[in-house]
Structure 1
Amino acid sequence: MLQQMTPAAIAVLGSCNMDVVAFADRAPTLGETVAGRRFATIPGGKGANQAIAAARAGGAVRMIGAVGDDDFGRALRTVLGEAQVDAGAVRASAEPTGIAHIVVDARGGNSIVVIPGANGTVTSLTAADEAIVANSAVLLLQLELPMEAAIAGAAVARRAGTRVILTPAPVQDLPPELLANVDLLAPNEHEIAQITGIDEPREALRAMLEQVPEVVVTLGAEGCVYGARTQGGTLHVPAPKVEAVDTTAAGDTFVGVLAVALAEGRNMQEALRWASAAAALSVQRAGASTSMPKREAIDAFAALHVAPG
């Protein structure tokens, strides 16, 4: 593993939500009521999750987004601060803080309904926001903010030479003007199937390489598969075998930690292995931000469970 000297500069343009989580043996079907085991409110949102994951992995992270002037918003600011995420560019909105309603089943699977709230007010970047993006090695984007914000952020990053990693969730049409400025697309297997209409992940990955230079598809317990337009074939990185408690934050942990690894100059295979180790650690604990491991834990786990090479 490379030894970090200066923290990698990571910008995150994304959502801040309070996760309202119900734990049950299984999720209810339409019109059905089931008994739950436990309830929790946990700070999250794909943007905040990726920011916290990257900060705990050793990145110097700055977050751009919005929360409401309410208890959930104050709790999110506190959690970001405790993770050493610079939240100075997280705006205060008259809209309430965004909410994610999550049901987690006995196998750790989840279903999620997101209500944007304050996130929906972030439709453009300020000059200060643009400076944060331009002065970072990597910009992390997701689609829980309005599309125009993602398009604007990616365009600023491209002009500045900042690497853009996009998590295309929740799935929606991806405008050409966004994809033109994305360096690495990071969907899960379900998202890339919805985007391309192709169920087989490797085939879907190859189809997406016609639109973006690099794609990594997360496959849950099967790990991830990566491909680049300039290379032939795909690279499969298996996931360490663990007992999953809650998979809610696995994808965001993977992407946040991957961003740090790439910003530090690790090669793609090593970066994917390190990110996979972090994701495997995260699924062994409940919650989103509460489950994300620190750098020392990732290194120790990877040394024991991830094959080198």
Structure 2
Amino acid sequence: MARLRAPGDPHHDVHLTGAVFLDIVFTGLDSAPLRGSESWAKGMGSSPGGVANLAVALARLGLRTSLAGAFGDDHYGDHCRDSLARGEGIDLSLSRTVPGWHSPVTVSMAYEGERTMVSHGHEPPERPAPAGPPPARAAVASLAPGHPAPWIARAAARGTRLFADVGWDETGAWDLASLEDLDRCEAFLPNAEEAMRYTRTDSPRAAAHALTDHVPVAVVTLGAQGAYAVDRRTGETAEVPAIDVEALDPTGAGDVFVAGFVTGTLAGWPLADRLAFAGLTAALSVQEFGGSLSAPGWCEIAAWWRTVREVRHQDPSPLRRYAFLADLVPREPIRPWPLRRAVPTIGFRPPR
């Protein structure tokens, strides 16, 4: 990414805004917890969550990342702030710690390749809106039906390239007109169910094509089947199957996918390479505990690529599909990896 930054480019590659959660993840459950019973998990990890999942994934791929987030005024908030700023090098100068506000918490239970989550938190007190987001090459926005975000319009006016995802529409309306900021975005990355509901179509691929009436690039994630994308401007379409891995914890995989796609877009790669890279980063992330601290960096991507090339008598399609990595991954480890992994408790202290 450093080679691609031109003189006069903004200092930040990507800007984010949102709340930071503390994620507590239980893995290795045999099934979903049953009412009135006690379940024991084989593994547990805690890490910063919420918008932190995306921030860490972007930073570990080498993007200079700015986060305007709200942090709780408690030990959880201190832990998350330290992990992001000191551990991952994320710029938190536009973030704030809210006096008397406790950190929102999500407990995620992973089983059979799926997850169930329980969250608790309160909206942080409002404060006067800043003059605008910092100059950045890109920004990622989570769209909410009927709730436009003023910062998105300001970022678009500055020439920031906007990538959008969306959550479940609790209103049940599934009206694209309610996503008022969508027409300011370069790319929209819903999952298959969301895409089909918003477009009233009966297949993810039809939904992706329908979405390009509203946004230049539509990427529809298909879960275990991979992803499909359409670029209206170039006429490109791409479909990439998911990489078959043993999933320990899927928490945050969608955010890692978005980070991979943003990275490939800023690097100017073809649509199929961007989609493949996003799927690869997501696949590597689900093999570790925790949403944010499971995100891979280039050393892990390089290790995967070396392993694929060394396997004999294999299907040659991965070698062809990911051949673009050959000139990108470091040939030798450039620093110890991983930087950090999720641990069972935030109470552990580093050895003296």
Could you state the TM-score of these two structures normalised by the residue count of structure 1? 0.85
Query: What CA distance in whole angstroms lies between the structure 2 residues aligned with 1:142 and 1:122?
Result: 18
Q: Kindly report which structure 2 residues correspond to 1:202-241, keeping only aligned pairs within 5 A, or say none.
A: 202-230=205-233, 232=235, 234-241=237-244
2:109 equivalent to 1:103: yes
d(CA) in 2 for partners of 1:258 and 1:26?
Answer: 32
Matching residue of 2:95: 90
Residues 257-291 of structure 1 deviation map (CA, whole Å, 9 limit, x = unaligned): 22122222223222222221111110111211121
Deviation at residue 101 of structure 1 after TM alignment? 2.5
**Map of 2:337 onto structure 1:** none
CA contact (8 A) 1:57 1:260 kept: yes
> Which residue number in structure 2 is paired with residue 165 of structure 1?
163
User: Whose helix proportion is higher, 1 or 2?
Assistant: 1
1:246, distance to aligned residue in structure 2 (A): 1.2
- Which residue, 57, 62, 67 being the options, matches 1:63? 67
Query: What are the superposed Cα offsets for residues 130-168 of structure 1, whole Å, 9 maximum, x if unpaired?
Result: 241xx1111011258x975x6212211210111111110
- The one-letter amino acid of 1:112's match is M
Deviation at 1:49, TM superposition (A): 0.6
Q: CA deviation at 1:71?
A: 1.1
Q: Secondary structure at the match of 2:113?
A: coil
Question: 1:142 is aligned with what amino acid?
Answer: S
Q: Give the residue type in structure 2 aligned to 1:206.
A: H
Partner of 1:79: 83
TM-score, length of structure 2 as denominator length: 0.75
Partner of 1:13: 17
Corresponding position of 1:185: 188
Residue 336 of structure 2: aligned partner = none
Distance 1:294 1:162, change over 3 A: same
Instruction: Give, as a single letter, the amino acid of the residue that structure 2 aligns with 1:139.
Output: A
Q: Which secondary structure state, in structure 2, belongs to the residue aligned with residue 86 of structure 1?
A: coil
SS of 2:273's partner is helix
Amino acid at match of 2:278: A
Distance in 1 between the 2:119 and 2:160 partners? 29
After the TM superposition, which residues 235-250 of structure 1 pair with which residues of structure 2 at under 5 Å, given as runs? 235-250=238-253
Secondary structure of the residue aligned to 2:166 is coil
**Displacement of 1:39 after TM fit?**
6.2
Q: Which residue of 2 is the match for residue 51 of structure 1?
A: 55
Contact 1:66–1:122 (Cα < 8 Å) also in 2: no
SS at match of 2:94: strand
Is the 2:61–2:297 Cα contact (8 Å) retained in structure 1?
yes
Conserved? CA contact 1:68–1:97, under 8 Å: yes
**1: CA distance between counterparts of 2:105 and 2:200?**
29
Code of the aligned partner of 1:71: H
52-61 or 267-276: bigger deviation: 267-276
- The answer for the alignment partner of 1:138 in structure 2 is 138
CA distance in 2, matches of 1:51, 1:16: 10
Q: Which runs of 5+ in 2 are unaligned?
A: 6-10, 309-317, 325-352
RMSD across aligned positions (CA): 2.8
Letter in 2 for 1:65: G
**Within 2, Cα distance between the matches of 1:287 and 1:300?**
20
**What CA distance in whole angstroms lies between the structure 2 residues aligned with 1:125 and 1:264?**
32
The answer to whether structure 1 residue 155 and structure 2 residue 153 are counterparts is yes
Contact 1:192/1:201 (<8 A) preserved:
yes
Aligned length: 299
Decide whether aligned partners of structure 1 residues 91 and 270 sit closer, same or farther in structure 2, where only a CA change above 3 A counts.
same
User: Tell me, what secondary structure is at the counterpart of 1:180?
Assistant: helix
* Conserved? CA contact 2:23–2:46, under 8 Å: yes
Identity %: 29
Counterpart of 2:313? none
C-alpha deviation, 1:98, in angstroms: 1.7
Question: The residue matched to 1:21 in structure 2 has which SS?
Answer: strand
